[in-house]
């Protein structure tokens, strides 16, 4: 274990490199979460649509993602997809992370949409709303609120999973730590430094999710 003074010296001495790396980690995380939510919502709707073939498509996607390790998916998008067209490094990483998050988010949304009582749908319909309008105005807002706690959890997993982008040459936090660590024969110090960065990022993410949760729960009272 490195001494405390050596740790702090490196922590502040290398902060400019680590802050660049942290920004890349944040970019990867934000893009993969936002795109993941869109993908997740889309496949969740396919699954609750009652149209068999759409349900199948959703099943294939979720099975594909949940059935393979994330690192395999990242390599497939980075090396394999190049047969069709060459995705830039950043988008290969972000898209792999987004597709991965999307499958889990789809399952979260499907669960919460199905948890909204049938009566709500019937009430909307009896007021003369179309099924689409009922979904948008009544079902989805409630489903989203119920989805927040598990979503927050998935966001944290997504943030930490972004470290796997290190294997396809993204200079994010983990990659910078292992590269500098092996260059200086001092891996432990650098790994401890990135651990601190991840803890700070997760703390910020948790606070944001809690704030949204509080805001959306006002109508519950």
| Residue ranges binding another protein (CB under 8 A) | 14, 16-17, 20, 56, 59-60, 63-64, 67, 75-76, 78-86, 89, 166-169, 171, 176, 178-180, 182-183, 185
Q: Closer to another protein at the Cβ: 185 or 214?
A: 185
Shortest Å distance, C-beta 63 to another protein: 5
Q: Closer to another protein at the Cβ: 45 or 81?
A: 81
For residues 98 and 87, the answer to whether their CB atoms sit within 8 Å is no
DSSP-assigned states of every residue in the chain? ---HHHHHHHHHHTHHHHHHHHHHHHHHHHHHHHHHHHHHHHHHHHHHS--HHHHHHHHHHHHHHHTS-HHHHHHIIIIIGGGT----HHHHHHHHHHHHHHHHHHHHHHHHHHHS-HHHHHHHHHTT--HHHHIIIIIHHHHHHHHHHHHHHHHHHHHHHGGGGGGGT---HHHHHHHHHHHTT-HHHHHHHHHHHHHHHHHHHHHHHHHHHHHHGGGG-
C-alpha span between 75 and 155 (Å, rounded): 22
Shortest Å distance, C-beta 159 to another protein: 21
Shortest Å distance, C-beta 13 to another protein: 8
Q: Closer to another protein at the Cβ: 89 or 213?
A: 89
Q: Closer to another protein at the Cβ: 60 or 195?
A: 60
Q: Closer to another protein at the Cβ: 22 or 140?
A: 22
Q: Closer to another protein at the Cβ: 24 or 113?
A: 24
Shortest Å distance, C-beta 141 to another protein: 32
Shortest Å distance, C-beta 118 to another protein: 25
Using CB atoms within 10 Å of the CB of residue 131, give its burial: 0 to 12 exposed, 13 to 18 middle, 19+ buried.
exposed
Shortest Å distance, C-beta 181 to another protein: 9
């Amino acid at each position: 274990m490195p001494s405390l003074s050596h740790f702090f010296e490196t922590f502040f001495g290398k902060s400019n490199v680590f802050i660049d790396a942290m920004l890349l980690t944040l970019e990867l995380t934000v893009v993969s979460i936002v795109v993941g939510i869109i993908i997740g919502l889309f496949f969740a709707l396919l699954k609750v649509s009652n149209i068999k073939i759409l349900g199948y498509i959703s099943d294939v996607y979720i099975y594909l993602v949940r059935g393979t390790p994330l690192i395999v998916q990242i390599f497939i998008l980075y090396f394999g997809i190049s047969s069709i067209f060459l995705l830039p490094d950043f988008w290969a990483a972000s898209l792999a992370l987004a597709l991965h998050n999307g499958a889990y988010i789809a399952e979260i949304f499907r669960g919460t949409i199905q948890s909204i009582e049938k009566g709500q749908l019937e009430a909307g319909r009896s007021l003369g709303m179309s099924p689409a309008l009922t979904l948008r105005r009544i079902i989805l807002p409630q489903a989203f609120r119920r989805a927040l706690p598990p979503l927050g959890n998935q966001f944290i997993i997504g943030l930490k999973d972004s470290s796997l982008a290190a294997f396809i040459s993204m200079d994010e936090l983990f990659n910078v730590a292992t590269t500098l660590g092996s260059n200086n024969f001092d891996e432990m110090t650098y790994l401890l430094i990135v651990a601190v960065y991840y803890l700070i990022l997760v703390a910020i993410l948790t606070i944001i999710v809690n704030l949204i949760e509080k805001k959306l729960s006002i109508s519950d009272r």
